Amino acid sequence: MTQVTATLSSLRIAPRKVRLVTDLIKGLEVTIAQQQLRHFAKRSAEPIEKLVKSAVANARHNAKIAAHENLYIKDIRVDEGRVLKRQMPRARGRAGLIKKRSSHVALTIETRPLGKGDKK
């Protein structure tokens, strides 16, 4: 059971919105997760799909895991990144604060051990 990680830093989408997508693919097999991500209507689905592809490439190249092995998403964590602070003019000379949030995503995939009835 080999673990492989991939990270995505400073994604300019709020963590709360990214977690909507990542919670749905946690624990799924990589091939099924990629199919799911391809059909999500959320903006964060595309960068997460690229991150999953990157993790699979890391598994092939760095850990020498074959592409057909049972890879699944063990953990995917979304943390808050840098917050860009902007101002917008408001009434009576005041300024309203706008927070443009970003996310850091960490993905861990692992090989699932084959059971009794599983094929190689």
- Condensed to tens digits (0 to 9), the pLDDT of residues 18-47 reads 999 999 999 999 999 999 999 999 999 999
DSSP per position, 33-75: HHHHHHH--STTHHHHHHHHHHHHHHHHHTS---TTS-EEEEE
Helix (H), strand (E) counts: the chain: 3, 5
pLDDT at 53: 95
Q: What is the CATH number of the domain that holds 90?
A: 3.90.470.10
116 inside domain: no
Count the domains in the chain.
1
| Domain span at 34 | 3-111
**Core vs surface per residue 33-55: b (16+ CB within 10 A) or e:** bbebbeebeeebbebbbebbebb
Joined tokens for residue 51:
């991150």
| Mean pLDDT score, 86-107 | 98
List Cβ neighbours of 25 (8 Å cut-off, separation of 6 or more). Answer: 33, 36, 37, 48, 52, 73, 76
**Least confident stretch, 36-45, 59-68, 100-109:** 59-68
52 inside domain: yes
Q: What digits encode the pLDDT tens for the residues 47-62?
A: 999 999 999 999 999 9
88 inside domain: yes
pLDDT at 113: 76
105 inside domain: yes
64 inside domain: yes
Does pTM surpass 0.85?
A: yes
Contacts of 35-42 spanning 24+ positions with Cβ under 8 A = 42/17
Average predicted confidence (pLDDT) for the chain: 93
